[in-house]
Amino acid sequence: MDERDWLADRFEANRSHLRAVAYRMLGSVTEADDAVQESWLRLSRANADDVENLQAWLTTVVGRVCLDMLRARKSRREEPLGPHVPEPIVSREDAADPEHEALLADSVGLALLVVLETLGPAERLAFVLHDMFGVPFDEIAPIVGRSPAAARQLASRARRRVRGGAPVPDVDVARQRTVVDAFLAAARQGDFDALVAVLDPDVVFRLDRGALRPGAAREVQGAQAVAEYVLTHAARLARFARPALVNGAAGVVVASGDRPLAVAGFTVAGGRIAGIDLLADPGRLRGIDLTLLDEDA
């Protein structure tokens, strides 16, 4: 084995870890894979003999790549004027996907990713690298161009936002599914009271149809307001909903034939739905493979 093959093997051993970092940073599997590929290119051009801890080195490299991508995204103003629902990871509830499980370790639900989308790029990097992957602040500081103390403050501000914005979900997926099924049944039947009963009083419903459709993003808060909105605008989607795991939690995929129309992630906390994140952006739904949801898949 020559040196490049040896280096490639070492990189492959770290690929799952790097994808997990990049997905939390970018909220997109496609962009995460691009960031991981760029980190390989940088490694292949570097002098690996000088690298003592390859995983730590690659983690900071992929973090730097993701930071550049986030800043470029902000400068292009790609986000819609409203809530931005990240690209979900969809799988069957009864068929664990080891690749998805590695990417979603530590239960990175859509609700958490939505909150991460509201952070500034430097805040997001400091929080993700330190709080989720244990990278010391003295290693984060050079990436964001600040002192370790300033990097610590970035993570602290992000942590407060995350704690205030992302409810802690119930861990039992079967119980989550029972609640989500009750929500779908009420929506299909047009039962307002049943909908309100299954929703947390402070539930937040987020809809993202993409940046190319101005005014299509929407956020609705409160059980009664969400129930009214669902019955008025989204009840028909419930009729075509197929159960799925969405970022490791009970969710649904809405499809017409072999074309996905929407993906909804649910945050179930305390036995009620505390958050609904609905992605209906055609561009970001293209990567959803409906065959993965077939029973014979």
Instruction: Point out the least confidently predicted range of 13-27, 59-73, 173-187, 278-292.
Output: 278-292
What does the pLDDT read at residue 104?
55
3-state secondary structure of 229: helix
The sign of the CA dihedral 28, 29, 33, 36 is positive
pLDDT of 226 reads 97
* pLDDT tens digits, 163-205: 887 788 898 999 999 999 999 999 999 999 999 999 999 999 9
* Predicted confidence (pLDDT) at residue 125 exceeds the cutoff of 70: yes
pLDDT, one tens digit per residue, over 32-70 is: 999 999 999 998 888 777 778 889 999 999 999 999 999
- Beta-bridge partner residues of 241: 254
Residue 235: band (very low, low, confident or very high) from pLDDT cuts 50, 70, 90? confident
Res. 297 pLDDT band, cuts 50 70 90: very low
The answer to whether the Cα torsion of 100, 105, 111, 113 is positive or negative is negative
Identify the pLDDT of residue 243.
92
Q: CA angle, 166 as apex, 150 and 129 as ends, to 5°? A: 35
Distance from C-alpha of 104 to C-alpha of 153, rounded to nearest angstrom: 26
* Average pLDDT score over residue span 138-150: 96
Please check whether residue 137 is in contact with residue 277, taking contact to mean a CB–CB distance below 8 angstroms.
Answer: no
Share of the chain above pLDDT 70, in %: 88
**Can you give the pTM of this predicted structure?**
0.83
What pLDDT, in 10s, does the model give residues 217-228?
689 999 999 999
- pLDDT of 64 reads 96
Give me 90's structure tokens: 């969809």
DSSP secondary structure code for residue 15 in this structure: H
Instruction: Please compute the mean of the pLDDT values over residues 86-101 and round it to a whole number.
Output: 73
Burial letters 120-131, b for 16+ CB under 10 A, else e: ebbbbbbbbbbe
Nearest-angstrom CA–CA distance, 244 and 230: 20
d(CA 28, CA 32): 6
| Eight-state DSSP code of residue 209 | -
Mean pLDDT across the stretch 282-288?
Answer: 82
**Mean pLDDT, all residues of the chain:** 87
Would you call 132 exposed, middle or buried from its count of C-beta atoms within 10 A (0-12, 13-18, 19+)? middle
pLDDT > 70? residue 77? no
Q: How far apart are CA 267 and CA 157, in angstroms?
A: 23
pLDDT bin (cut points 50, 70, 90) of residue 100 is low
d(CA 87, CA 67) in angstroms, rounded, equals 18
Most confident of 119-123, 210-214, 236-240, 257-261: 119-123
- In angstroms, rounded to a whole number, what is the distance separating the alpha carbons of residues 292 and 91? 6
pLDDT for 282 beyond 90: no
Identify the band that residue 4 occupies on the pLDDT scale cut at 50, 70 and 90.
Answer: confident
Beta-strand (E) ranges in the chain?
Answer: 90-91, 199-208, 218-221, 241-246, 249-256, 259-269, 272-279
Query: How far from 169 is each of 116, 125, 228, 277, 281, CA to CA, in Å?
Result: 16, 23, 24, 14, 25
Q: Which domains does the chain have, with CATH numbers?
A: 3-81+110-165 (1.20.140), 173-293 (3.10.450.50)
Say how far apart CA 20 and CA 15 lie, in whole Å.
Answer: 9
DSSP characters over 111-163: HHHHHHHTS-HHHHHHHIIIIIT---HHHHHHHHTS-HHHHHHHHHHHHHHHH
Q: Tell me which DSSP letter residue 78 carries.
A: -
